[in-house]
Amino acid sequence: MGFFDRLVAQFIEIIEWVDDTRDTMVYRFPVYAKEIKNGAKLVVREGQAAVFIREGQIADVLSPGTYTLDTKNLPILSTLLGWKYGFESPFKCEVYYVATRQFTDLKWGTQNPIMMRDADFGVVRLRAFGSYAIKVTDPGKFIKDIVGTDGLFETSEISNYLRDMLIQAFATSLGTAKVAALDLAANYKEIGTTLSNAITADFAQHGLTLTRFLISNISVPPEVEAALDKRSEMGAIGDLGRFTQYQVATAIPDAAKQPGGMAGIGMGLGAGLAMGGQMASAVGQGMAAGTAASAAGGDDIVNKLGQLKKMLDTGLIEKAEYDAKKKDLLAKM
């Protein structure tokens, strides 16, 4: 070894890690081409754990505290290196710091809708999103199963994998809870608790714990939202009969735009009024005759319109089918 090499191959006397980020989960202390001095100090702060790896094998895992590196504090590593009665010479070893604090505000969300069978609306498509928090509870297992030899491991490197696990568990929990679509918002906490309990073992396999799971929103498709809005309107009106009459009245302007619909009646009434008193009697007789002839049919059409609207609100028919049938009924008036 030359003079320059001897200067570079300096001994490490203090090992510590101060993290100023919010997303670093594992940090490998830079000991490449260096040796750890006998009696060196190791500082492990609160929210950290230090993992010693020798030749690819996990040796010792140290909890928070300040250590003097010797056979007493590194029993497994001492065995691997053959230190039976203590050691005096420097040694080479990889030191990984693992952050054991909570990593919060991690996001999850459904990329595609989740199908759910609902008692009110049949099969509905749901989307959901929220946040979750995790922490490393088994540093050795986490490094072995997830991190490997990555010297700087961040939450972004595992977030997609965890999100997929959560979405799968969320879909299962949603089906198990059997909560109606109208009642989902009132049961976010219950669904989250069910998911946390169900996924504990899956996270533990990687040395992780899901400390919190929050649902920010579960949304239904626009057509179901429209049905919910209509149902709210019906609840606010109260009287279904009056609501049906209101729907018919609001449909008349649409019918007036259709050829052969209410426009013909409107034009006939306008012409009769313009002709003055001479035609008043004839118009009156015509209106009376028309009313007598169509009274039964008009009531039947109103009832059918009401039934048709209820079928739309409950999701039994689509909006396009409703509009077509409404047009046909109004054309018969």
Same domain, 198 and 229: no
The structure tokens listed for 24 are: 């670093």
Number of domains, the chain:
3
**pLDDT (tens digit per residue) in 250-307:** 666 665 666 655 554 445 444 444 444 444 454 345 444 444 444 455 567 777 777 7
**Helices and strands in the chain, H and E counts:** 10, 12
Q: Is the model's pLDDT at 158 over the cut of 60?
A: yes
On whether residue 2 sits in a domain, the answer given is no
Same domain, 112 and 175: yes
On whether residue 124 sits in a domain, the answer given is yes
Residue 272: per-residue pLDDT: 40
Percent of the chain past pLDDT 90, that is, above it, reads: 35
DSSP string for 51-82? EEEETTEEEEEE-SEEEE-STTT-HHHHHHHT
Residue 284: per-residue pLDDT: 47
Residue 308: per-residue pLDDT: 75
On whether residue 11 sits in a domain, the answer given is yes
Burial class (CB in 10 A: 0-12, 13-18, 19+), 96: buried
- On whether the CB atoms of residues 127 and 218 are closer than 8 A, the answer is yes
Confidence of residue 241 (pLDDT cuts 50, 70, 90): low
Q: Give this prediction's pTM.
A: 0.64
Of the given ranges (44-53, 148-157, 299-308), which has the lowest mean pLDDT? 299-308
CATH of the domain at 121: 3.30.479.30
Confidence of residue 196 (pLDDT cuts 50, 70, 90): very high
Amino acid at 90: P
* Gap between the Cα atoms of 196 and 210, Å rounded: 7
Q: Which of 68-72, 85-89, 324-328 shows the highest mean pLDDT?
A: 324-328
Residue 262: per-residue pLDDT: 53
Percent of the chain past pLDDT 70, that is, above it, reads: 69
Same domain, 214 and 245: no
Same domain, 215 and 109: yes
Average pLDDT over residues 201-230: 88
Select from 165, 174, 171 the least CA-distant residue to 210. 165
Last residue of a domain, one of 201, 220, 239: 220
Residue 271: per-residue pLDDT: 45
Burial class (CB in 10 A: 0-12, 13-18, 19+), 116: buried
On whether residue 327 sits in a domain, the answer given is yes
Same domain, 114 and 213: yes
Q: Is the model's pLDDT at 133 over the cut of 90?
A: yes
Provide the terminal-to-terminal Cα distance of the chain, rounded to the nearest Å. 106
* Gap between the Cα atoms of 167 and 70, Å rounded: 46
Sign (positive or negative) of CA dihedral 110, 168, 102, 213? positive
Q: Quick check: helix, strand or coil at residue 268?
A: helix
Same domain, 253 and 309: yes
On whether residue 323 sits in a domain, the answer given is yes
Same domain, 57 and 128: no
Residue 257: per-residue pLDDT: 62
Same domain, 210 and 319: no
**pLDDT (tens digit per residue) in 159-183:** 999 999 999 999 988 888 888 888 8
- On whether the CB atoms of residues 25 and 103 are closer than 8 A, the answer is yes
Residue 47: per-residue pLDDT: 95
Last residue of a domain, one of 99, 134, 169: 99
- On whether the CB atoms of residues 59 and 71 are closer than 8 A, the answer is no
On whether residue 150 sits in a domain, the answer given is yes
Residue 155: per-residue pLDDT: 96
Residue 321: per-residue pLDDT: 78
On whether residue 172 sits in a domain, the answer given is yes
Confidence of residue 75 (pLDDT cuts 50, 70, 90): low
On whether residue 158 sits in a domain, the answer given is yes
Biggest distance spanned by C-alpha atoms of the chain? 129
Residue 9: per-residue pLDDT: 45
Average pLDDT of the chain to the nearest whole number:
78
CA distances from 130 to 167, 187, 230, 289 (A): 11, 14, 28, 65
Same domain, 325 and 230: yes
Last residue of a domain, one of 220, 254, 281: 220
Same domain, 152 and 61: no
Amino acid at 168: Q
Sheet of strand 11-15: strand arrangement: 11-15, 35-44, 65-68
Residue-range definition of the domain harbouring residue 325: 224-331
Same domain, 64 and 159: no
The structure tokens listed for 279 are: 């035609």
Same domain, 163 and 94: no
Amino acid at 63: S
